[in-house]
Amino acid sequence: MSKKFLVFLGILALCLAIVLPGPAMAQKKRFFGIATGGIGGAYYPAGGALAQALTNTIPDMVVTAQTGNASVANVNLISRGEVESGISQNNVALAAYTGDKESWKTPQVKSLRCISALFPETVHTVALAKAGIKSVHDLKGKRLIVGDKGSGTEFDSRRFLEAIGLSYKDLEPIYVYYAAAVQRMQDEQADALFWTAGVPISSIIEIATTKDVTFLSFPDAVIQKLHTRYPYYTPVTMPAKSYPKQNYPVKTIAIICLWVTRAEVDEKSIYDVTSHLWEKKPQIYREKKELASGAEIMAAAHEQGKNVKLENALLGVTVPLHKGAYKYYKEKGIQIPPALIPPEAK
């Protein structure tokens, strides 16, 4: 083979390399965000693990988890098109979708859609022992952490106080998030807190480890009042020893957190993230490479991830499914209640 011919082949190869796309250029990346919550809650580690699992298994998609102020803020971000999806309590999602003026102070989010139910969130009512708070009725006149403004916890706090017969006017509400709430309780700059989150929550563990605290139960009448008016508040009992110094069961309520999006997000993206949430794909799982679903990766990241199961995918869902998620669940033969069928699919 002549030297000139070899040079010609080299030039031809170079030209082809320039003209033809390589592996990196062949596949345009899709970017997909998940708005979670603050560090210290369940949304942050669960959402982060899910984002990593989806990025690892969907070849042309980069999924990122974004910290934020949780439910209310996440839904508002989604409604403005600033993020593709987020985690939200089912009661917050319902209020946004219906434009409930009593509970939802920003514009109605009629385009809100659900991808899947994730896990239950339990209401924690924790007081410093030295504050002398023996029941929730003793919160009157106290310094109460009610959650950060724009969070699902603060959304709930107003309703809990109403059911108890109190309002923000009867006490000193403190609007802070996880890390600041821990500091306030440790420095005794707050007497008690409400917190809606998956058990166990690291912030409550930290408080209970460093301070003498009391975990308060809701009276049966308060639980019944809340459940009657807002059926998505489900009576539950937090088992003894869920936290340090909590040697007794605690009667409280729980809600379900949802993974939500908006109708305008393209069907393929939602179908892909839904299927990869549930289908086993090659992952680095339990420190070795094996088949695992996004849900299993979430279970490894946080205790509440163990409750993310396909059989519970529609449990507590309060807004219609996205068309992409609806397509996946139909393929799986899952019975879909008429109220959850997306208007776009009817």
Q: Where are the domains of the chain?
A: 27-119+258-345, 121-256
CA angle (176 as vertex; 125, 252 as ends), nearest 5: 15
A 10 A CB-CB count for 98 gives 16
The H or E element spanning position 91 is helix 90-98
Closest by CA position to 76, among listed 47, 44, 108: 108
Whole-angstrom distance between the N-terminal and C-terminal Cα of the chain? 67
pLDDT string in tens for the chain (346-residue length): 454 434 433 444 444 444 444 444 456 889 999 999 877 778 888 999 999 999 999 999 999 999 878 888 999 999 999 999 999 999 999 999 999 887 788 899 999 999 999 998 899 999 999 999 999 999 999 999 999 887 778 888 999 999 999 999 999 999 998 789 999 999 999 999 999 888 888 889 999 999 999 999 999 999 999 989 988 888 899 999 999 989 999 999 999 999 999 999 999 999 999 999 999 888 766 666 778 889 988 888 878 888 899 999 998 899 999 999 999 999 999 999 999 999 998 7
* C-alpha to C-alpha distance for 71 and 273, rounded to whole angstroms: 20
Which class is 27-119+258-345 in CATH? alpha beta
Domains 27-119+258-345 and 121-256 agree in fold: yes
**Phi, psi (degrees; rounded to nearest 5) at 187:** -85, 0
Task: Tell me the C-alpha distance between 273 and 327, whole Å.
Answer: 12
Q: Which fold has domain 121-256?
A: D-Maltodextrin-Binding Protein; domain 2 (3.40.190)
**Would the CA dihedral through 173, 179, 180, 182 be positive or negative?**
positive
> Is the backbone of residue 314 left (phi > 0), alpha (psi -120 to 50) or beta?
alpha
**Would you say how long the chain is, in residues?**
346
